[in-house]
Structure 1
């Protein structure tokens, strides 16, 4: 790392990266337990009921670190190709 250059902190990029990382881990846990991850995540996002997400590998605790509206915002931005 070059200590002569200033690094710009971008909280929106960090939020996007964190959301993607968490959703990927939750997706993987749901797949490993034999669930349809899209259906389970949609159920969670619509209802807010965390029991749609497995406890396997801490997936339920991970997804609850994010606000549901923030997840939807990031998913929609990605779907529409908005940065």
Structure 2
């Protein structure tokens, strides 16, 4: 969701989805890892391109990640990175 504020676009993130996003990312990561893929490379490929074929269908991972918006995934990853610092 975006909002214009004094000439600057603002993005508002739904914090309630935070745990759901983390759970799905963990499940997708594990499915990719189990299938022998580099999970980081595959998830980055999906986020950048939007192409769901970067994500395996093993353990329903592709369907799970497609429930999320890519901007939600990026927001969660950035928040997690900053919180670790």
Normalising by structure 2, report the TM-score.
0.80
Q: Deviations over 1:9-32 (max 9, x none)?
A: xx61x3110001000000010011
Which one has a larger percent strand, Structure 1 or Structure 2?
2
In structure 1, what is the Cα distance between the partners aligned to 2:61 and 2:40? 14
Q: Deviations over 1:19-76 (max 9, x none)?
A: 0100000001001100000000000000000000000000000000000001000110
3-state SS of paired residue (1:20): helix
Unaligned runs of 5+ in 1: 1-10
Q: Give every structure 1 segment of 4 or more consecutive aligned residues whose post-TM-superposition deviation is greater than 6 Å.
A: none
Q: How many residues align?
A: 71
Larger radius of gyration: 1
3-state SS of paired residue (2:64): helix
In structure 2, what is the Cα distance between the partners aligned to 1:81 and 1:27? 20
Normalising by structure 1, report the TM-score.
0.81
The Cα RMSD (Å) is 1.4
